[in-house]
Amino acid sequence: MPRHVVLVDPYSEAAEYANAFRARGIEPVAVLSTPAPLKSYLHGWKPEAFHSTHFYDGDFAKLAGIVRGYDPVAVVPGNECAVRLVDALIEELAPGTGNVPELSAARRDKWPMAQAVASAGVPHLRTFATASEEEAADWLRRNGLEGRALVLKPRCSGGTDGVHKVEAGEDWRPSFRRLLGSINMFDLTNDSILIQEFASGTEFVVDTYSVDGRMGLVAVVQYSKSARGNRIGVYDAEDYLLPNDPLVGVLESYTRQVADAVGIRTGCTHTEIMLTDDGPRLIEIAARLDGGCAQQAARLATGDSQIDRAVRHHLDSAFTPGFEIVQPTRVVWLSAANSGAMSNAEVLDAARELSSFQKLSCRYPNGSRVPKTEDLFTTLGWVLLSTPDQDVLDQDTKRVREIEAKVVIDPLGRAGR
């Protein structure tokens, strides 16, 4: 009789969990935390990858019974929106084996997350959440942040969805009003807005995998991003740090403090950290795997990934404490300078001829209307490069930018023309 693994909200790259477990003889079962697939993830929903699919309609007892019937080797979150449901299912089916249940909200909602980190004495950015402009203004005044650069964002979204930067001296209220009451990528109403002091520095990602309270480093990635108007978080590239880089130790230590503060004991974390002049400061931590093309990129860079570690954990009881770099690897993100109809997407295929080329992803077919790139979810796609030669990697990156510049997006054009 086949064994099963339950994957909750296995959208996009999280669908790779299905392949990895199936390769070990485990049949993947999908559970969606919503009555229907999320619209923002329809392009990444692959129902054919799973033995069966179940939808959560709010009846937890019914869902828990269904999941229990599979006697799964694990219940794994595939996305931000899965975290709370996975916590509840694990606590119901295997009490004491998951992350700290009392801190579940701190692993999903950025406001209790910030409060948990502050309560633990971990260095942090000043943060507040409210639905009231008056309360926000009072908090800014009391904290000496009036006229300072700020970041406003939804409490329970993902990626850089809805993240707004307010420049020093700029009125924050228009951004606050636009966000309040809007619908985020998870079809949730932003009924309270997170306000955070802006952190200047270099952003890093620390990806980990924990087993029984022991945290293992999977990869440490340095981000380069740019701003477009008042939107921050437009991805340019991602590079992997060597394990002996002095920054890795600093970031690992800080990540451990944050993970402990929000009750991480098992599974993946994806932690975004800004390294400021005052030291590392948390942007956010997510109790799920790194998305985008991160798993494939990590395999190329380190020979391992969070998905691979999850399989070894649940099937072999294995724990891996650290990582190595086997070859230089870079993710180069593609962007659109304006919205409009894309008429020559085929020019991107020239990237396939680069010696370090591994994979190209373009989210929009030729002739379709594309949005102006303002965050991760409005990128055109990405090019994954990996090669033993760092100089070749750098040369190919420049070539990708030259290729990207040839993409024609007509702001007055219509899709399909």
Q: Which domains does the chain have, with CATH numbers?
A: 3-98 (3.40.50.20), 126-197 (3.30.1490.20), 202-410 (3.30.470.20)
DSSP-derived 3-state class of residue 417: coil
Angstrom distance (rounded) from CA 22 to CA 25: 5
Query: Tokens 């935390």 appear where?
Result: 33
Q: What is the pLDDT of residue 319?
A: 99
Which helix (H) or strand (E) is 250 found in, with range?
helix 246-261
Query: Tokens 């923002």 appear where?
Result: 40
Find, among 228, 218, 232, 95, the residue nearest to 163 by Cα.
232
Query: Tokens 């990129």 appear where?
Result: 297
Q: Are 81 and 38 in contact (CB under 8 A)?
A: yes
* pTM beyond 0.85: yes
Following DSSP, what letter does each residue of 169-203 receive, concatenated?
TS-SHHHHHHHTT-B-TTS-B--SEEEEE---SEE
pLDDT tens by residue, 259-282? 999 999 999 999 999 999 999 999
Q: What is the pLDDT of residue 414?
A: 58
Q: What is the pLDDT of residue 379?
A: 85
pLDDT tens by residue, 365-417? 888 999 988 776 688 999 999 999 999 999 999 999 999 999 999 997 655 54
Q: Are 322 and 217 in contact (CB under 8 A)?
A: yes
pLDDT tens by residue, 199-215? 989 999 999 999 999 99
Please determine, for residue 255, whether its predicted confidence score (pLDDT) is greater than 60: yes
Q: How many CB atoms lie within 10 A of CB 388?
A: 10
Report residue 342's pLDDT band, with 50, 70 and 90 as the boundaries.
Answer: very high
Amino acid at 175: S
Which helix (H) or strand (E) is 42 found in, with range?
none
H-type alpha helices, 277-345: 294-302, 306-316
Of 313 and 13, more confident: 313
Please determine, for residue 295, whether its predicted confidence score (pLDDT) is greater than 60: yes
Amino acid at 260: D
Report residue 1's pLDDT band, with 50, 70 and 90 as the boundaries.
Answer: confident
pLDDT tens by residue, 53-68? 999 999 999 999 999 9
Angstrom distance (rounded) from CA 299 to CA 39: 29
**What mean pLDDT is predicted for residues 68-83?**
97
pLDDT tens by residue, 166-199? 989 999 999 999 999 999 888 899 999 999 999 9
Q: Rounded mean pLDDT of the chain? A: 94
Q: What is the pLDDT of residue 162?
A: 83
**What mean pLDDT is predicted for residues 85-102?**
98
For the chain, what percent of residues have pLDDT higher than 90? 83
Find, among 237, 292, 234, 288, the residue nearest to 264 by Cα.
288
Q: Does residue 213 come out as left (phi exceeding 0), alpha (psi in the -120 to 50 range) or beta?
A: left
pLDDT tens by residue, 15-37? 999 999 999 999 999 999 999 99
Angstrom distance (rounded) from CA 87 to CA 95: 10
Q: Are 205 and 271 in contact (CB under 8 A)?
A: yes
- Those residues whose C-beta lies under 8 Å from the C-beta of residue 26, and which sit 6 or more positions away, are 2, 3, 4, 5, 73, 315
DSSP structural state of residue 299? H
Q: What is the pLDDT of residue 417?
A: 41
Q: Which value, in Å, is the radius of gyration of the alpha carbons in the chain?
A: 21
- Residue 238 tokens read as 């991602």
